[in-house]
Structure 1
């Protein structure tokens, strides 16, 4: 059993659709049962969002989800048609038809269960099942879309439900890199990445996989392969490593990531003894706003102060709520959107304080000012001016010698008895 997922860029043109179908066909003809998850073709979702905006309906809603679901349905039908044309029996299934049940939150639903009876029937009958990613059906029977990373999450959830040996995610890059190769040509493809580190990388700005799908893969024990849909490169395996390589002397820092979708928020209120932090977090949670790098004043101070970073793209949705909350206590809110976040990801970073020292020293040596910093065992993140983000990535990639492979990484890692090219 194999699950393959093709992203929007992998299906942008009809030639791309045929190329994806050839990959699926090759796996099916090896005797493997194949379920395929597809995103909307490249640019299609943006086109649909523009149509919605033109009629004044840009906010998440039932009707917007009805519209956006068209993109994935188109991709699934075209892929199934291409497979049937190649002599490979295939059937397209919407999220509803595949039994994908979700919560009721339109635009950002979560998968609750997958009742895969129809899907299993198609697979047992020798057909390739092509399933729409990014969507399911809510408890009220309405289409609900899954938000950021929804198609990747769909693929991993199906792989877990079907007990697939591997979930292959095809995209337009050769795998996961030590930094974004679009801004740093010296970035190196990583043959393998542990799931926990990959989740931190995704959260901190790596765009290859979304943190939701990696968290689910880690919880369900799904091995993920990231590969380029246009090449035969071996890609990257995301799984716990099982080899005879070095133990505590293995490289701790794996990659540098960056994120420019960042806003730094400061909330403050003088002469107030009430702890306003719970109320602040309630405002953020009500909008599904992701928070990072949190710092706040202590319980014995007369002034309440709290700082944190959020996605800049989510600032509009929480601005009014935060201003209203703080104004009620005579306080204020300040948003700084001219910042970015740069992170190093790896294992055991908190246990090795020299890595934080090296990070700060490298940035200072490059003349890059820093403000807030947060550390954990798998990630060290720092806020820098937005215009210096690329400089910071270059400095840290050089400081931790990430352009040089580890000896154990020269050959692709093998996990669960399968190679990264499986």
Structure 2
């Protein structure tokens, strides 16, 4: 029988009572005879608490020791769930990421899974055990722990599903599925039954926090369906299809409105322009594992060189370090604006429907909101606006494009 891979987020394991509930659910499934692997995140706010403890002892903790510390959050979740499964009469074993054969390359805090040797997992499955794996981590060639960064447990689950030839991967979280907007901001947002992997990856990169874009991209590249559902509900949730949906490019539509309030806009300038300067800046950011969005620059001229980009707030410190390494030699300086947020329309065929961008900007204008940055692709239109107007803009755009539950009877509104 094919292996079932299930991932539970930190909110699903935040209390002993919730751990017992998850254990009961997993034990019932295991009794059906299906080999089961469970990936877990750190419980509740434990990652933030561990990081705060590190900062209390050292204002600039080393990346290696930070990874050593943060990995213990997932390890604790795995061991506690295994203990709860034992109490349910289900044989179980917990494995850290390295014990599970997960090898990682790259920088501490932003590692990438290089390969997985599933031999130990398969051996435990053959013994009839539930295997509980710590997400978010693996080891490098020297045996050091490397964490995977934001959303790393999702990526762990999908990578294990790939290595174990699973047909799908189930992600259990504190929401019922993928919504047309954050339901905490837009109560009228509805759960999508299915969504194309490409659209979901754009949603994740644009701020939707239910799934990480790396995990979605990995699932799509291996044709694995990912099911996102609530941990303690019976509702079916959302299936992220590991294959493309056939959509006519001319029939553009909006799937969701997303937002990100944990971003910054950076503007790098140099009064000594030269060819290759943009590549030098981006190379340093890449070495620091800092992905950028909304990238734009102009060709160097007599007035110098200017390049703007957005990056996630959690990567601001390594980005500053990377840029400072080249500032002196290249004569660059960088200004950072932290009082901004990103709002995005996500869907398909958006480059073929420039009226969507026009409607978005017209609505923001009526609200008295002037974007400082606009970018459009086939799957996404994003704007940078003042941070204190982000949530208001999300609500207004969700209504403008008819995405709420009350609009189910008129689905064509999003494509007019």
Contact 1:267 1:326 in 2 (8 A): no
Q: Aligned to 1:206, what secondary structure does the other structure show?
A: coil
Residues 287 and 105 of structure 1, relative CA distance in 2, 3 Å threshold = closer
Q: Please, what TM-score do these two structures have when normalized by structure 2?
A: 0.91
Is 1:283 aligned to residue 284 of structure 2? yes
Residue 11 (str. 1) matches residue 13 (str. 2):
yes
Counting only pairs closer than 5 Å after superposition, residues 242-257 of structure 1 correspond to structure 2 as 252-257=253-258
- Residue aligning to 1:120: 122
Structure 1 residue 329 displacement after superposition = 5.4
| Cα shift at 1:330 | 5.2
Match of 2:166 in 1: 164
- Counterpart Cα distance in 2 of 1:407 and 1:242: 25
| RMSD, aligned CA | 2.4
1:283 shift after superposition: 2.9
**CA deviation after TM superposition for structure 1 residue 298, in Å:** 2.3
The residue aligned with 2:197 is 195
CA contact (8 A) 1:343 1:381 kept: yes
Q: For residues 240 and 398 of structure 1, what CA distance do their matches in structure 2 show?
A: 29
Aligned mates of 2:184, 2:275 — CA distance in 1: 47
* CA shift in 2, pair 1:165/1:333, >3 Å: closer
Distance in 2 (CA, whole Å) between partners of 1:66 and 1:267 is 34
Aligned with 2:309: secondary structure? strand
Q: Which residue of 2 aligns with 1:309?
A: 310
Q: Distance in 1 between matches of 2:162 and 2:119?
A: 15
Contact 1:104 1:139 in 2 (8 A): no
Quote the offset at 1:16 in angstroms. 0.6
Alpha-carbon separation, structure 2, partners of 1:133 and 1:213:
12
Find the counterpart in structure 2 of residue 418 from structure 1. Answer: none
Paired residue for 2:24? Answer: 22
1:46-103, CA deviations, whole angstroms, 9 ceiling, x for partnerless residues? 2222222222175453332222222212111111111121111111112122111111
Give the corresponding residue for 1:49. Answer: 51
Task: State the partner residue of 1:266.
Answer: 267
Partner in structure 2 of residue 83 of structure 1: 85
Equivalent residue, structure 2, for 1:420 = none
Q: Is the 8 A contact 2:273 2:300 kept in 1?
A: no
Deviation string 1:189-212 (CA, Å, 9 cap, x unpaired) is 111111111100000000111111
What's the counterpart of residue 185 of structure 2?
183
Equivalent pair of 2:252/2:352 in contact (CA under 8 Å)? no
Q: Residues 355-393 of structure 1, C-alpha deviation per residue, up to 9 Å, x if partnerless? A: 111111121122211121111111110111111111211
Q: 1:154 aligns with which of 141, 153, 156?
A: 156
Stretch moving more, 170-179 or 41-50: 41-50
Instruction: Assess if the C-alpha contact under 8 Å between 2:252 and 2:349 holds in 1.
Output: no
Match of 2:96 in 1: 94
Alpha-carbon deviation of 1:111?
Answer: 1.1
Report the CA distance shift for 1:176/1:328 in structure 2 as closer, same or farther (over 3 A): same
Distance 1:152 1:58, change over 3 A: farther
Deviation at residue 11 of structure 1 after TM alignment: 0.3
CA shift in 2, pair 1:350/1:276, >3 Å: same
One of 53, 62, 65 as aligned partner of 1:63: 65
Determine the C-alpha separation between the residues in 1 that align with 2:163 and 2:99.
15
Residue 359 of structure 1 is matched in structure 2 by 360
Structure 1 unaligned residues grouped into runs of 5+: 410-422
Instruction: Tell me the equivalent position of 2:414.
Output: none
Query: Partners of 1:314 and 1:229 in 2: how far apart?
Result: 30
Distance 2:383 2:14 in 1: 36
- Stretch of structure 1 that moved more, 132-141 or 153-162: 132-141
Is the 2:258–2:345 contact (alpha carbons within 8 Å) kept by the matching residues of 1? yes
Which of 111, 114, 119 does residue 113 from structure 2 map onto? 111
SS of corresponding position for 1:350: helix
Q: Is residue 394 of structure 2 the alignment partner of residue 385 of structure 1? A: no
